[in-house]
Structure 1
Amino acid sequence: MLLGVIGDDFTGSSDIANNLKKAGMSVGMYSGVPDNKIKLNKYNAVVIALKTRTIPIKKAISESIKALEWLKSKKCKKIIFKYCSTFDSTKKGNIGPVIDAIMKNLNVDFTIACPSFPDAGRILYQGHMFVNGVPLNESGMENHPLTPMTDHNLVRWLNYQTKGKVDLINSLTIKEGAKSIKKRITELKKSNVKYAITDTLDNQDFDLICSGTDNLKFLTGGSGIALGLPKVFKKKGMLKKSNSKLPNVKGNTIILSGSCSLTTNEQVELYKKSNPSLFISPEELIKNKNYHNEIIEWILRNSKKRPLIYSTTLPKKVSLYQKKFGSNISSKIENLFQKIIKNIYKYNFNKIVCAGGETSGAIVKALMIKELQIGEEISAGVPVMWEPEKNIKITLKSGNFGQKDFFSRALKKL
């Protein structure tokens, strides 16, 4: 196995799997640590999707190390820890502690953090992240209900979370090429720096960064880095050709949206205008014990019309719901999504669009999906995927990804 990826959520994992395939690698994605009986000879890379972004730190480390041990047992030549391209975390977030634990396990003394994804509008300059030209902490991410990003200086942000020193490999060094990057890494290591944030202004930078770090066993970042890594392996003649196509699947379609990002709010509003849509009311969820059955009945009445079920709303309303119904209202909504999908799957709803990382993770776990094969890209970072055992076609969209008409685009691809 050339490459093993540990993803901290499901949408992000499908995102990096998509980019690896686009760049020429054969890749499989698994929900949680795979069974040892799984045959991996058809893949150059394996992505293990976890749900560790917002869980307690000790548990996030434990689950990540279990995934790492499995990848080590498959003799992966390089390991990536994948997190969101907007570095979703808090000052006491999980990214730094998980990186520390993996570095200790692998006995490595240096790695990079390369979260950018220019194709989705996320770039890093002088260690500062911008989203579509706006500083990260002014992009709407400062209002994220779970991981509010209140600083766009990622050198400073990662320093809050890690035990070692964090520094920068800036864009001038990167544009000079692989030799300059290697030289900078040597300088940083002499200064006892353990982690370097890497500036990234365009996709060409990923080629330079991956060439400049080709001797590093362990990398961290967003999905953008996956655009450069396969080229490194290809130069060494190590890649298998990947021409596989996903089969057509017949069945009913459902859209489930839990993200409260500004992007997903716009997507929901557009789709609602011409399609049956039902909002999950937190008040009804708390008061009405039969609520999930009522929703299922509504879905079945609209089974041929590709209905949308959504809890998506503006961040301000999320805060109000949390104050009124408790901070665990989000997990109760996730549980409701799980009840819904378990029930309607029996009625041949096997084409599924999910919006939001937490929602996507809940849906994948509810359906007990194990392996996902990667298909055509719908929009930057979002592919169609197929679960061969259950014959499910599914797409898992990060909240901030996709065009306004993403849902309609996704339905055409499923």
Structure 2
Amino acid sequence: MIGVIADDVTGATDVAAALSREGLQTLLAFNAETSVTEDADAIVIGLKTRSIPVAEAVATSLVALRSLENAGATRFYFKYCSTFDSTDEGNIGPVTEALAEALGVSTVVTTPAAPIHGRTVNDGNLYVFDVPLHETHMAHHPITPMRDSNLARLLTPQSRGAVMTLPLSAARDGAVAVRATIAAAESAGVTQGSVSVTQVIADAVTAADLAIIAEATDDAVLTAGSAGLIGAIAERQAASGRTVSAPPAGRTAIIAGSCSRRTLEQIAAFESSGGLSHRVVAAPGQTAAQLAEAALTWWDEQPTDTSAMIYSSSSAEERNDELPEAGELYEQVAGIVANGLAHRGVQRMLVAGGETSGAVIRELGTTVAVVGDEAAVGAPWIHDVAGGVHLVLKSGNFGEVDMFTSLAGGASHD
């Protein structure tokens, strides 16, 4: 069984989709101390460790590792964002090293490459649809601004051990060449007097490159990266076949909190198609409970057979500087709204944004979900069997512009 530890909720759904896409029965859990008894080919634990203090991220990830071992996992993957979201302190390097040390692993192959999402690595530099990372919107991220595209320069300050590279030429020469490069990197790390784990950053531009790296790491207990490499690894596994319950037809609730460009485009497309929407805008002094109550009151006034959207997303120009904690406030609103909708019998919800998704999962009390078909690449339907809710937890930048309209079934004003 493959066990995956993901550093955020939507990243967890992305990697779960990659595993399920290859026919693996995949379960998605949202608690580091989860106890899974269902049969599965893969289990993904989605955490919220991307930007919390290093020590806390490491400790939580190690708890998740023990849970996966107890569930029967024998091969492990640490999933981080394909845009390498991190700071000089971490948390990619520290968590990778801690997991490796706990598993007795001395070398970890790692890559954020995910060609299916337009993320490629060449000469050790990360590109987003052929644009260097530091020239994308990620350079202005409020928590993890990515102002360098060179992965070795990004990973080295947050790691105790050596950071090496695996050039694209090795992958193009085949699995034997990749194994030789990994072995040489491990030896070089030891020569440098590394006190910890050697991390080998792999170039990959195409799915075929990732397939070669996956073949070369068939015996690896631990690898790391985005959903790209684990998808290639999953393709090499024997699949028991999925048994997936489809989401019921009917009314869809869209809850959006991401301020990414793509989510804003999706919101605009939904509204321009006539979709019913309520925007949550906080004034100083308002509480999450008050804002959520207003949103749910609005929902109750809409036609009962019509999908609708409740959102707090906004462009940078629209944000209120008088509310520095607005992001956390809106996350709380999203969670309360989702819980209120579930109690009203809503069974289909599309949630946009990693932090927003995390808040929704916490408020719904979802612990384990079965991964189903993808609503968009990297954004599958998941079924919270205990709660009776089907969810799509979408990373802010995922999905086509018309995704909200399509999932809502062409919602329109009554």
TM-score under structure 2 normalisation? 0.92
**Paired residue for 1:156, among 145, 153, 172?**
153
**Hey, which bits of structure 1, 4+ residues long, moved more than 4 A?**
none
Q: Match of 2:301, as an amino acid?
A: R
Match of 1:131 in 2: 128
Match of 1:39 in 2: 37
The alignment status of 1:225 with 2:229, answered yes or no, reads yes
**C-alpha separation between the residues in 1 aligned to 2:332 and 2:37?**
32
Is the CA contact 1:292–1:340 (under 8 Å) kept in the aligned structure 2? yes
Match of 2:14 in 1: 15
State the shift of 1:147 in Å: 1.7
Deviations 1:337-371 (A, max 9, x none): 11212222211122100111111111011101122
State the shift of 1:333 in Å: 1.2
Deviations 1:359-410 (A, max 9, x none): 1111011101122111111222111111111221110111111111111233
Match of 1:236 in 2: none
Q: Match of 1:201, as an amino acid?
A: V
Match of 2:215 in 1: 211
**C-alpha separation between the residues in 2 aligned to 1:392 and 1:249?**
10
Answer with 254-263 or 52-61: which moved more.
Answer: 52-61
**Correspondence 1:250-269 to 2 at 5 A:** 252-269=251-268
State the shift of 1:288 in Å: 9.0
Match of 1:314 in 2: 315
State the shift of 1:247 in Å: 3.5
**C-alpha separation between the residues in 2 aligned to 1:247 and 1:376?**
8
**C-alpha separation between the residues in 1 aligned to 2:29 and 2:341?**
23
**C-alpha separation between the residues in 2 aligned to 1:268 and 1:290?**
23
- Determine helix, strand or coil for the equivalent of 1:168: strand
Deviations 1:10-40 (A, max 9, x none): 111111111111123221111113643x323
**C-alpha separation between the residues in 2 aligned to 1:271 and 1:49?**
29
Is the CA contact 2:34–2:367 (under 8 Å) kept in the aligned structure 1? no
**Correspondence 1:6-405 to 2 at 5 A:** 6-33=5-32, 35-36=34-35, 38-41=36-39, 43-192=40-189, 194-233=198-237, 239-249=238-248, 252-273=251-272, 274-283=274-283, 286=286, 290-302=290-302, 303-318=304-319, 321=320, 323-326=321-324, 328-405=325-402
State the shift of 1:297 in Å: 0.4
Q: Match of 1:315, as an amino acid?
A: A
**C-alpha separation between the residues in 2 aligned to 1:39 and 1:82?**
23
**C-alpha separation between the residues in 1 aligned to 2:236 and 2:315?**
42
State the shift of 1:121 in Å: 0.9
Q: Where does structure 2 lack aligned partners over 5 or more consecutive residues?
A: 191-197
Is the CA contact 2:17–2:371 (under 8 Å) kept in the aligned structure 1? yes
Is the CA contact 1:144–1:261 (under 8 Å) kept in the aligned structure 2? no
State the shift of 1:226 in Å: 2.2
**C-alpha separation between the residues in 1 aligned to 2:220 and 2:154?**
23
Work out the percentage of aligned pairs sharing the same amino acid.
Answer: 29
Is the CA contact 1:254–1:306 (under 8 Å) kept in the aligned structure 2? yes
TM-score under structure 1 normalisation? 0.92
Change (3 A) 1:260 1:11: same
When the two structures are aligned, how many residues end up with a matched partner? 401
Deviations 1:156-200 (A, max 9, x none): 111121111212111111111110110001111111170111111
Is the CA contact 1:17–1:27 (under 8 Å) kept in the aligned structure 2? yes
Q: Match of 1:3, as an amino acid?
A: I
**C-alpha separation between the residues in 2 aligned to 1:227 and 1:255?**
28
**C-alpha separation between the residues in 1 aligned to 2:346 and 2:89?**
40
**C-alpha separation between the residues in 2 aligned to 1:345 and 1:260?**
24
Q: Match of 2:27, as an amino acid?
A: G
Is the CA contact 1:249–1:392 (under 8 Å) kept in the aligned structure 2? no
State the shift of 1:284 in Å: 5.9
**Aligned CA-pair RMSD:** 1.9
